[in-house]
Amino acid sequence: MDLRKVSLAQLPSVGPKRLEALQSLGINNVYDLLFYFPFRYEDMQAKSLDDAIDQEKILIKGVVASEPVVSRFGYKKTRLNVRLMTDNESIMVTFFNQPWLKDKFETGNEAAVYGKWNANRRSLMGMKVIGVDDNSVDSVYSVNKNIHQKTLVNLIKVAFEKYHDQIETVVPSYLRLKYKLLDDEQIVSGIHFPKSEEQSEEARRSAKFREFFLFQCGLQSIKRNDDNQNIGIVEKYDQKFLDDFIKSLPFKLTDAQNRVVQEILQDMASNHHMNRLLQGDVGSGKTIVSVIAMLASVTAGYQAAIMAPTEILAQQHFDKISKLLTPLKIRTALLTGSLTKKEHDFIAGDILNGKTNIVVGTHALIQDSVEFKDLGFIVIDEQHRFGVNQRKALRQKGNNPDVLAMTATPIPRTLAITTYGDMDVSRIDQLPAGRKKIETYWIRSQKIEQMYQFVAKELQTGSQVYVVTPLISESETMDLKNAELIFDKFTELFGKKYKIGLLHGQMPNDQKEAVMSDFSDKKIDVLVSTTVIEVGVDVPNASVMVIYDANRFGLSQLHQLRGRVGRGDKQSYCILIADPKNESAAERMKILTSTNDGFVLAEEDLKMRGAGDLLGNRQSGLPEFKIGNPINDINILEVAQEEASRLFEDDKLFNSPETKNLKSFINEEYDQLNNFD
Ligand code: ADP
Ligand code: MG
pLDDT in tens, 500-549: 999 987 888 788 888 988 999 999 999 999 877 766 678 999 999 999 98
Report the pLDDT averaged over residues 309-338: 92
Closest C-alpha among 406, 193, 396, 202 to residue 294 = 406
Which residue, judged by its Cα, is nearest atom 20 of ligand 1?
285
381-438 confidence digits (pLDDT tens) = 987 777 667 777 888 888 888 999 998 876 666 666 666 666 788 889 888 888 888 9
Angle ∠(265,270,273) on CA atoms, nearest 5? 90
**Confidence band for 41, pLDDT divided at 50, 70 and 90:** low
CA distances from 46 to 57, 588, 643 (A): 9, 19, 32
pLDDT of residue 100: 84
Query: Beta strands 139-140 and 77-85: pairing type?
Result: unpaired
Distance 408 CA to ligand 2 centre (A): 7
Range in 39-43, 634-638, 652-656 the model is least confident about: 39-43
pLDDT of residue 288: 97
Atom of ligand 1 nearest to the CA of 563: 3
Cα–Cα dist 149/192, whole Å: 12
Ramachandran category for residue 55: left, alpha or beta (phi over 0 → left; psi -120 to 50 → alpha): left
Q: Which residue has the higher pLDDT, 505 or 459?
A: 459
Average pLDDT over all residues of the chain: 85
Which residue, judged by its Cα, is nearest atom 17 of ligand 1?
285
Residues of the chain with CATH 2.40.50.140: 56-130
Cα–Cα dist 358/330, whole Å: 8
Please state which CATH class domain 439-595 belongs to.
alpha beta
Q: Is 284 in the pocket of ligand 1 (CB under 6 A)?
A: yes
Atom of ligand 1 nearest to the CA of 257: 23
Q: Is 256 in the pocket of ligand 1 (CB under 6 A)?
A: no
Report the pLDDT averaged over residues 26-30: 93
Residues of the chain with CATH 3.40.50.300: 239-428, 439-595
Side-chain-facing half-sphere of 627: CA atoms under 13 Å: 26
Distance 518 CA to ligand 1 centre (A): 20
Q: Which residue has the higher pLDDT, 150 or 471?
A: 150
Ramachandran angles phi, psi of 673, nearest 5°: -65, -40
**Domain at 56-130, CATH from 2.40.50.140, 3.40.47.10, 3.40.640.10, 3.20.20.70:** 2.40.50.140
The answer to whether 351 touches 332, Cβ cutoff 8 Å, is no
Q: Is 540 in the pocket of ligand 1 (CB under 6 A)?
A: yes
Report the pLDDT averaged over residues 152-165: 94
Q: Which residues of 111-147 are buried (b: 16+ CB within 10 A; e: fewer)?
A: bbbbbbbbbeeebbbbebbbbeebeeeebbbbbeeeb
Tell me what percent of the residues of the chain surpass a pLDDT of 70: 87
pLDDT of residue 122: 82
**Domain at 239-428, CATH from 3.90.1310.10, 3.90.700.10, 3.30.70.260, 3.40.50.300:** 3.40.50.300
Q: Is 538 in the pocket of ligand 1 (CB under 6 A)?
A: yes
Question: Could you tell which of 282, 288, 596 is best to mutate to test the pocket of ligand 1, judged by most ligand atoms within 8 Å of the CB?
Answer: 288
Atom of ligand 1 nearest to the CA of 254: 23
Atom of ligand 1 nearest to the CA of 428: 2
